[in-house]
A and B are shown apart, each in its own frame.
Chain A
Amino acid sequence: MVSLKEIVKKERRLSPGHRLCPGCGASVVANMVLWATDDPVVIGISTGCLEVSTTIYPQTAWNIPYIHSAFENAASTISGVETAYRALKKKGKIKENIKFVAFGGDGGTYDIGLQALSGAMERGHNMVYVCYDNEAYMNTGIQRSSATPFGASTTTSPAGSVIPGKLQKRKDLTYIMAAHKIPYVAQGSISHWRDLIKKAVKAFEVDGPAFLNVLSPCPRGWRYDSKLTINIAKEAVTSNFWSLYEVENGNWKLTYKPKEKTPIENWLKKQGRFKHLFKPENTHIIDEIQNYIDNDWEDLLKRCGE
């Protein structure tokens, strides 16, 4: 059972005082996931917001062993660490039971790090990979990634007089990871903390690789007031834009079903990145987005046997 009373007593593995923006979802993702195990954890992070903001030499916000190598290789780097652990444990040089986790943003996971992630998952390392998905390259200044949703304006898919933001649908990475048939894959949101931590507990417990995709709202990139982060995350879930489910040993299960689906228009309206969609000539795009969401939801329901 995940109880708030117990969680607040736990030491923070990512300590306060780091330089992430106010309202950033990434540190919330990191803390929630790291609360899910009491075992020692070694963490690897790909280049990105979470990395640059937490380890500005000579300071570090990490109370646990940490490694950063490059942008696209958090999965392969941690696969090396985890393998070293198995090799040294076999020789009796390591006594503790240690968990291994890699964090990457959507750029480092959906795009440039996809190959390294796929390889590490296929090889079956006992590690958890967490994508904190803020739907664009936020660290370099809000450029579009393959996780950026259809219609969003970013600095490399700007809304202009001819092109109304990003023209492509986002890639469904969680499905791709489920297709790896690893022991555990789940999608979570910081708004549904109990659900997320439960998933992280399972991810750490399985013998073999696990993948968590967690929506991580970004006030700067999504253009909303930083105090609204959790609300924005919540409405992404209730609108079925970001569904909460898990795939455990091949069994698909919906872990949250909104009582009543909220229209996507309400969620889009709260974010400056979708502002241009509300011009009369672009409102058909909102209908298209709603359509995509409804179809994806139907597909997910079928997979989950609902």
Chain B
Amino acid sequence: MAKKHAEVGTTAVAMAMRQINPDVLAAYPVTPQTAIVQTFSQYVADGKVDTEFITVESEHSAMSACVGAAAAGARVMTATASAGLALMWEILSVASGLRMPITMVNVNRALSAPINIHCDHSDSMGARDSGWIQIYSENSQEVYDNVIQAIRISENEEVRLPVMVMMDGFIISHGIEEFETLEDEDVKDFIGENKPKYSLLDVKEPVTHGPLQLFDYYFETKRQQADAIYKARSVIEEVGRQYEKLSGRSQPIIEKYFTDDAEYIVVVLSSTAGTAKSVVKELRKEGLKVGLIKPRIFRPFPYFELEEVLKNMKAIAVLDRSCSFGAQGGPLYIEIRSALYELVQKPLIKNYIYGLGGRDISLENIRSIYSDLEEIAKIGKVEKPVSYFGVRK
């Protein structure tokens, strides 16, 4: 029987971690992730998990210890945010390049400078090419569900890649919401046993992890890695189907909300999708053909799914909670425009960069974006493809 809770998002993550009961957790405190490791530390202190918790002296060492522990065949987890993820940067690509199954929760927070502790996606978007699978969560329920699925995805023999599960800092991490947890036994059965193939602790079959590869082999290794993350797409879907059976909650690669007959659509990640859904509901009552798409998976990017659902739209607004400085728009927008390139009849598309450093986005704000889309469709072109939404002049 599922249990209902009303807790903050960090507790939802810690509860999932307790049920997963990883062999090793290596983590360093950073706002707004801190409550995750604090709650988990208490589980360790109270003997509610078997986990060995490595209280490292930095995030660089957190990820390094995760790589070492995963290479030794342990099931490994960590959590971080913002500056912590930035400090891990070098070892993120070591983790994916060595094909280490590691599950990490990143509580999205703005990057310095200026220093800011609130939500935007500049931290994880900065790591979008690090070779990690990236899953974005709208609310506490989703982050709980995604963390459990991440274990299965990362350890899949075809994949063997690290997975980053995102939740919005403060908005979700520190907001109390209702969510359901599965039974401990169900989680245990669902994730199963980790079966490492090349463990460092297999002293009878010694393996060299992390050798030097130059121009003669490096490229092939990277090509295999590129194939692996594309293969992860079907694994993510299969794990999602099985998880849906267990939980009753669907786990789509992209969530479609009133898209069937929609003409105006907003595409947005994470918690803002929740706000946008209630706007869609209101506007639908007023008879407007509006809808919403929330990609759950950002890496591997769901090109085909997005192309399929967006191709008949009159106008699309892509909301990005981070900047790709010097690029033609935010990361989500760039990818979606690329996904639509093959279409002969391309829908009109506009990018809104919003909410940096935790600036709130209101129901009225999102309403105005749908009005913009109507206007864009009416005049048949996008005057200003990239705009900074809600910023003072």
The answer to whether A and B come from one shared complex is: yes
Judge whether B212 is part of the interface by a CB distance below 8 angstroms: yes
Checking A60, A64, A84 against B69 with a beta-carbon cut-off of 8 angstroms, the contacting residue is: A84
Nearest Cβ on chain B to A234's Cβ, whole angstroms: 32
Judge whether B345 is part of the interface by a CB distance below 8 angstroms: no
The stretch of A71-79, A171-179, A208-216 in contact with B is A71-79
Task: List CB contacts (< 8 Å) of B47-71 with chain A.
Answer: 50-52, 54-58, 60-61, 64-71
Judge whether B23 is part of the interface by a CB distance below 8 angstroms: yes
Which of A70, A78, A87, A119 is most buried by chain B, counting CB atoms within 10 A of its CB?
A87
Nearest Cβ on chain B to A124's Cβ, whole angstroms: 11
Nearest Cβ on chain B to A11's Cβ, whole angstroms: 12
With a cutoff of 8 Å between Cβ atoms, the chain A residues found around residue B114 in the complex are none
Q: A69-B64, A70-B91, A87-B50 are in contact. Are A81 and B72 (CB under 8 A)?
A: yes
**Closest Cβ neighbor of A86 among chain B residues:** B52
Nearest Cβ on chain B to A293's Cβ, whole angstroms: 33
Checking B71, B91, B203 against A40 with a beta-carbon cut-off of 8 angstroms, the contacting residue is: B203
Q: A65-B203, A115-B57, A118-B57 are in contact. Are A79 and B217 (CB under 8 A)?
A: no
Judge whether A66 is part of the interface by a CB distance below 8 angstroms: yes
Q: Is the CB of A65 within 8 A of B60?
A: no
The stretch of A50-58, A129-137, A182-190 in contact with B is A50-58
Q: Is the CB of B201 within 8 A of A80?
A: no
Judge whether B13 is part of the interface by a CB distance below 8 angstroms: no
Checking A52, A83, A86, A90 against B65 with a beta-carbon cut-off of 8 angstroms, the contacting residue is: A83
The stretch of A91-99, A225-233, A239-247 in contact with B is A91-99
Judge whether A88 is part of the interface by a CB distance below 8 angstroms: yes
Judge whether B210 is part of the interface by a CB distance below 8 angstroms: yes
Checking B61, B74, B90, B212 against A84 with a beta-carbon cut-off of 8 angstroms, the contacting residue is: B74
With a cutoff of 8 Å between Cβ atoms, the chain B residues found around residue A63 in the complex are 206
- Residues of B within 8 A of A (CB-CB), count: 43
Q: Is the CB of B26 within 8 A of A56?
A: no
Report Cα–Cα, A77/B202, bound state, in Å: 17
Q: Is the CB of A80 within 8 A of B58?
A: no
Q: Is the CB of A115 within 8 A of B58?
A: yes
Q: Is the CB of B54 within 8 A of A80?
A: yes
Checking A64, A91, A123 against B206 with a beta-carbon cut-off of 8 angstroms, the contacting residue is: A64
Q: Is the CB of A119 within 8 A of B57?
A: yes
Judge whether B248 is part of the interface by a CB distance below 8 angstroms: no
Nearest Cβ on chain B to A217's Cβ, whole angstroms: 24
Judge whether B208 is part of the interface by a CB distance below 8 angstroms: yes
**Closest Cβ neighbor of B23 among chain A residues:** A87
Report Cα–Cα, A81/B217, bound state, in Å: 27
With a cutoff of 8 Å between Cβ atoms, the chain A residues found around residue B56 in the complex are 76, 79, 119, 123
Checking B55, B74, B203, B210 against A42 with a beta-carbon cut-off of 8 angstroms, the contacting residue is: B203
Q: A80-B24, A87-B74, A94-B201 are in contact. Are A66 and B68 (CB under 8 A)?
A: no
Q: Is the CB of B68 within 8 A of A78?
A: yes
Q: Is the CB of B200 within 8 A of A119?
A: no
Judge whether A193 is part of the interface by a CB distance below 8 angstroms: no
Report Cα–Cα, A242/B38, bound state, in Å: 45
**Closest Cβ neighbor of A74 among chain B residues:** B64
Q: Is the CB of A55 within 8 A of B50?
A: no
Judge whether A289 is part of the interface by a CB distance below 8 angstroms: no
Judge whether A44 is part of the interface by a CB distance below 8 angstroms: yes
Checking A40, A57, A73 against B60 with a beta-carbon cut-off of 8 angstroms, the contacting residue is: A73
Judge whether A274 is part of the interface by a CB distance below 8 angstroms: no
Nearest Cβ on chain A to B78's Cβ, whole angstroms: 10
With a cutoff of 8 Å between Cβ atoms, the chain A residues found around residue B73 in the complex are 84, 88
Bitwise, A32-68 to B at CB < 8 A (1) or not (0) is 0000000010101000000110011110101111111
With a cutoff of 8 Å between Cβ atoms, the chain B residues found around residue A68 in the complex are 209-211
Nearest Cβ on chain B to A98's Cβ, whole angstroms: 6
Checking B50, B90, B208, B210 against A91 with a beta-carbon cut-off of 8 angstroms, the contacting residue is: B50
Report Cα–Cα, A107/B90, bound state, in Å: 18
Q: A79-B54, A80-B24 are in contact. Are A88 and B68 (CB under 8 A)?
A: no
Report Cα–Cα, A91/B22, bound state, in Å: 12
**Closest Cβ neighbor of B60 among chain A residues:** A73
Q: Is the CB of A65 within 8 A of B200?
A: yes
Report Cα–Cα, A82/B349, bound state, in Å: 52
Report Cα–Cα, A119/B206, bound state, in Å: 28
With a cutoff of 8 Å between Cβ atoms, the chain A residues found around residue B224 in the complex are none
Can you list 7 A-B pairs, Cβ within 8 angstroms, ordered by A? A42-B200, A58-B211, A66-B210, A73-B64, A79-B65, A83-B54, A120-B61
Question: Besides A58-B211, A69-B94, A80-B71, 4 other CB < 8 A contacts?
Answer: A80-B26, A80-B70, A94-B201, A119-B56
What are the 4 A-B residue pairs with the smallest beta carbon separation, nearest first? A80-B68, A119-B57, A80-B65, A84-B72
